Structure 1
Amino acid sequence: MKKALLFINGEAPKSIPDLSGYDLIACTDGAFHYLKKLKFPLDKLNFISGDFDSHKIEEEIIQQSQNYDFEIIETPDQNKTDFHKALEIIIEKGFENIDVYGASGGEQDHFLGNLSVAFAFKDKTNLRFFDEYSSYYFIPKKFTISDVRGKMISLMPFPIAKNIETKGLKWPLYKEDLILGERIGTRNVAENQEVSLKYKEGDLLIFVGK
């Protein structure tokens, strides 16, 4: 199963994740600055995309592209975020399984915007975010996750998830609803190695702590 890795311009990871399991690796132009600081191996990069609104970054990327075999894809459409446009490129290249770093941290409107983009693509991709605190992603109506005993599990309705049942959590749900602004399911704990859940209506975002 082909898998893509995308870096976007939020909080940089503390270290470079294991790249061996990815068939395509990309970044937005805004993420390039922290990849360089992390000494990211640019020979592993397949493309850089963005509107390149900083001439300094654009010149540096063009210079680096002369030394390494990555593609530069300019995406000037200001009606979409660089994250949104990068996802469109990755999907067009035939990838559905996409891991994303750099979606959180920094300016929080960017974080909320990234969640909105993920929501728009949830039926087209298996998209997962990673940061220094957790992984998080939208989950299907029936879902199971393994190797999580002792980890923090939070369930966030987007904006409503109905008739939720869970197994393996310290505070289980029995055919209950979560509604943004009324009741959410944050800071639960996995008591078992495996946690399963199902729900009937709406959309649910899960956060799995490290």
Structure 2
Amino acid sequence: MKDKVLLFINGDAPKSFPDLENYGLIACTDGAFHYLKKLGFPLDKLDFISGDFDSHSGSDEDMYEDRFILTLDQDKTDFHKAIEIILERGFGEINVFGGSGGEQDHFLGNLTVAYGFKDCMKIKFYDEFSEYYFIPNDFKLKGVKNRMISLYPFPSVNNITTKGLNWPLTNGNLSITSRIGTRNFAIENEISVEYESGDVLLFVGINEIEYPTIY
């Protein structure tokens, strides 16, 4: 069974689409529906479109009206409400496109929403620069040599140790008010991150980069 969900939300439109055959459910918020239509996305592949539809313009959108899920709760973002629908349908892993770009308060809001669901599902964001997601306190990742790696405390992480990075950490502490771990890079094909408490948002660059190796 394909247990992953592909979700488009209303940030910057993706430059390309992943293989749709890898997903058991494909959905979008109503704001993302507009850019999908402009990009020629096969709209018949969408299982649902959710939101308050304040930007609904009718016309060809009415062809997909049976897939509209109206979510009027103004105390939650459209992203939050879409995740709740996905959870109700029994899925536990989401790949999100359109989470960044545009107005940056939306970007921060999307990260905060993902943080709230991190213990019950896997949420991974993709944009043209990187993929990013919250990681458990004993984490390994392969195939990342020469790729940018950023460790962002959310809001703090204690006794963190890394291996395979150019600037390693050994029982260090990170905090958004003092020291963060951004713009590092992998010097090994596999990296590992362990920490005692707190939360870490990991950013992995999409492309390899050329950094001078410093020891």
TM over 0.5: yes
Q: Is 1:27 equivalent to 2:23 in the alignment? A: no
Change (3 A) 1:151 1:63: same
How far is the alpha carbon of 1:60 from its aligned partner?
4.1
Q: Using the TM superposition, give the Cα deviation of residue 61 of structure 1 relative to its aligned residue in structure 2, in angstroms.
A: 6.2
- Report matched runs for 1:38-117 at 5 Å: 38-56=39-57, 59-60=58-59, 62-65=61-64, 71-117=67-113
What code does the residue aligned with 1:113 have?
Answer: G
SS in structure 2 opposite 1:174?
A: coil
Deviation at 1:62, TM superposition (A): 4.3
Q: Give me the identity figure in percent.
A: 61
**Structure 2 SS opposite 1:202:** strand
Matched residue type, 2:62? Q
Q: Which amino acid aligns with 1:129?
A: F
Cα distance in 1 between the residues matched to 2:74 and 2:197 = 33
Deviations, residues 170-208 of structure 1 (Å, cap 9, x unaligned): 111001000112000000010111111110000000000
- Structure 2 CA distance, aligned partners of 1:61 and 1:96? 32
* 4+ runs deviating over 6 angstroms: none
Gaps of at least 5 residues in structure 2 are 207-215
Query: 1:92: Cα distance to partner?
Result: 0.5
How far apart, CA to CA, are the structure 2 residues paired with 1:90 and 1:156? 27
For residues 98-119 of structure 1, the C-alpha deviation after alignment (integer angstroms, 9 at most, x for no partner) is 0000010000000000011011
Q: CA deviation at 1:64?
A: 2.5
Q: Please name the residue that 1:197 is paired with.
A: 193
Runs of 5+ unmatched residues, structure 1: none
- The count of corresponding residues between Structure 1 and Structure 2 is 205
Aligned-residue CA RMSD (Å)? 1.2
Offset at residue 129 of structure 1 (A): 0.3
Tell me, in whole angstroms, the C-alpha distance in 2 between the residues paired with 1:61 and 1:164.
Answer: 52
Q: For the residues of structure 1 that align with 2:98 and 2:92, how far apart are their CA atoms?
A: 19
TM-score normalised over the length of structure 1: 0.95
Alignment partners' CA distance in 2, 1:22 and 1:118:
19
Post-superposition Cα deviations, 1:120-151, rounded to whole Å, max 9, x if no partner, equal 11111100000000000000011111110000
Q: Which residue in 1 is equivalent to 2:131? A: 135
**2:182 aligned to which of 186, 190, 193:** 186
In structure 1, which of residues 154, 157, 164 is the aligned counterpart of residue 153 of structure 2? 157
**Deviation by residue 1:7-32 (Cα, 9 ceiling, x = unmatched):** 00000001222212100000000001
Query: TM-score, with normalisation over the residues of structure 2?
Result: 0.92
| 8 A Cα contact 1:15 1:38, kept in partner | no
CA distance in 1, matches of 2:77, 2:33: 16
What is residue 166 of structure 1 aligned with on the other side?
A: 162
8 Å CA contact 1:16–1:38 kept in 2: the answer is: no
Equivalent position amino acid for 1:102 in 2: G
SS at match of 1:152: strand
Q: 1 CA distance for matches of 2:98 and 2:167?
A: 31
Distance in 2 (alpha carbons) for counterparts of 1:111 and 1:55: 23
